[in-house]
Structure 1
């Protein structure tokens, strides 16, 4: 057998995601490249590693055993690399962060300089909805999480980063009018919601309930990007975080519609469990964020002041 570490990494990722497409996305490779490597890897075994049933990919029992072995090998390789860098005096290890979907527009700016300075640090960042972020934090699966509303069900330590503003947003086709949108006008508009478990959805539902507004028509989509494109296309309106619509506001594809009681203002927070024994990498990152956050906000998010 003559399989490579690259093939082991690809097959392990396929076994994790149960999808060649998702594996390709997470590894920043093309789908054909992943398919070819899977084929080459499979050719070294007489027993199938995967099977396709009803156009869905499944990992066989034998494949799962190989995936477990691949994970052990890859972890050992990482350990060798970390030890080599450690002997050279560099900070090494993994930094694991889970962020709510709209935080993907914020978190990279607080990570960029730290990752550039510490080449021995590997970053794993999961982007999902708030419910899953809290689950991963509570399950001690990550070092840090980034949320706009602090979870009430668990005790956390936190560092406040920057404001998160949510506005009522429509497409270019919405006719502008003087003053704020009246209650009866709001209630006539089709609304687009994020999925259950999303902090943005919770904020939108609370706003509607607190203001005793009725909803004429509701559309549910599972990502901020999907909501944004639906509004641009004219499917409806939504309450959205300002952080994710900067470019569309400047091109005129989206517009902020004045509504009494908006914007809703919360704060992005980097959070962690008080009982968490932070690794040297995690502690170093926390120190970095604490000392550089004000400068990063001034350099990268000054445009917030326009709204």
Structure 2
């Protein structure tokens, strides 16, 4: 089978859009030209790649198999173009970064500093929870991810670059702020405002409690740190949050830290990528920048020993 790169490029576009018209617009070709190339590709493969149902098209089993390979080819060609552009013009090109939602409180400052140093770089930033970022990494949709707790047993490489302290906080008028001595058991019995299942912050907290034989029942589950902070300030419960998300609230005394034994829990922020990822010059420049600059920029005011469970 002698496929041409152009045929595979056209197939990848049609398979991604599942629409011949959109593919023809993207490739600046006429629709008959796209249809002809797909027909030739199917003849070479000896198998149908698409099936038509009314006005919609779907990938056949053979089409799905070929699509997985063409996605990899398209990604590698993009990386090759960016590498050549960087060699010709210096550090430039596109960088795709995914960050855990908690990291949005500091990532823009880091990226702004990076762009000052490398103004020709184009950034794409996506914010997701832990489960969503793992999927992006495994699908090779991003160059890097910034997250607090990389998954184990997967084809991922992670490198720590800064510390991340987690605190239990409450509004200043909460009864626990008057307690002379707090225990973890007493605090765990309180109504908690927690992140949604799949959040790294929640997994960290529940794992810590589990090691002490405790389970917390959330009063509310929310997918936004901002919503959790506002709910805590309103007196709806107490919360377990990264210090990076509550710096302003602590400074203005809208929230206070509860002196719970064993807290803060400190873990690392990690830069994560797929083990088979081929990094462009701009990606390598970003990694070096992050490892050098982030520890200084993100040095937290809280000094705490790193808990064993956070490794």
- TM range, normalised to the smaller chain? 0.5 to 0.7
Asked if the contact 2:164–2:242 (Cα under 8 Å) also holds between the matched residues in 1, the reply is: yes
Report what 1:27 is aligned to.
none
Partner of 2:172: 172
TM-score, normalised with respect to structure 1: 0.68
**What is the distance in 2 between the residues matched to 1:277 and 1:88?**
19
Query: 1:282 & 1:191 partners in 2: Cα distance?
Result: 40
Q: TM-score scaled to structure 2, two decimals?
A: 0.67
Give the superposition deviation at 1:153: 3.1
Q: Aligned partners of 1:102, 1:211: CA distance in 2, in Å?
A: 25
Relative to structure 1, the CA distance from residue 160 to residue 235 in structure 2 (aligned partners, 3 Å threshold; closer, same or farther) is: same
Please identify, of 250-259 and 214-223, the stretch whose mean Cα deviation from structure 2 is larger. 214-223
Distance 1:113 1:183, change over 3 A: closer
Corresponding residue for residue 244 of structure 2: 243
Q: Which protein has the larger Cα radius of gyration, Structure 1 or Structure 2?
A: 2
Instruction: Describe the shift of the 1:292–1:171 C-alpha distance in structure 2 as closer, same or farther (beyond 3 A).
Output: same
Aligned length: 240
Aligned to 1:115: 115
Distance in 1 between residues matched to 2:225 and 2:275, nearest whole Å: 30
1:139 Cα shift?
1.0
Partner of 1:26: none
1:92 aligns to 2:92 (yes or no)? yes
User: What is the CA-CA distance between 1:216 and the residue it aligns to?
Assistant: 5.4
- Residues in 1 aligned to 2:26 and 2:229: alpha-carbon distance in whole angstroms: 38
Counterpart Cα distance in 2 of 1:119 and 1:103: 22
- Distance (Å, rounded) in 2 between the aligned partners of 1:289 and 1:132: 22
3-state SS of 2:141 partner:
coil
1:296 counterpart residue number: 297
Query: 1:279, 1:138 → 2: CA distance?
Result: 18
Does 2:220 correspond to 1:219?
yes
**Which position in structure 2 is the counterpart of 1:280?**
281
Distance (whole Å) between structure 2 residues aligned to residue 223 and residue 127 of structure 1: 11
* 1:1-307 equivalence runs, <5 A: 65-66=21-22, 68=23, 89-175=89-175, 176-183=177-184, 185-215=186-216, 218-297=219-298, 301-305=299-303
CA distance in structure 2 between the partners assigned to 1:249 and 1:127 by the alignment: 24
Aligned to 2:75: none
After the TM superposition, which of the residue ranges 150-159 and 124-133 deviates more from structure 2? 150-159
Classify 1:236/1:178 alpha carbon distance in 2 versus 1 (closer, same or farther; 3 Å).
closer
Query: Please, which moves more after superposition, 199-208 or 283-292?
Result: 283-292
In structure 1, runs of 5+ residues without a counterpart are 1-60
Distance 1:215 1:294, change over 3 A: closer
Point out where structure 2 has 5 or more consecutive residues left out of the alignment: 1-17, 29-77, 306-311
Distance 2:199 2:139 in 1: 19
Give the CA RMSD over aligned residues: 3.4
Q: Classify 1:72/1:281 alpha carbon distance in 2 versus 1 (closer, same or farther; 3 Å).
A: farther
Partners of 1:180 and 1:260 within 8 A in 2: no
How much has 1:277 moved relative to structure 2?
A: 0.6
Distance 1:116 1:283 in 2: 16
- 1:126-169, CA deviations, whole angstroms, 9 ceiling, x for partnerless residues? 11101111110111110001111121031333332111111111
1:206-241 per-position Cα deviation (integer Å, ceiling 9, x unaligned): 122222234455311111111111111111112111
| Aligned equivalents of 1:150, 1:206: Cα separation in 2 | 15
Change in CA separation of 1:304 and 1:185 when aligned onto 2, cut-off 3 Å: closer
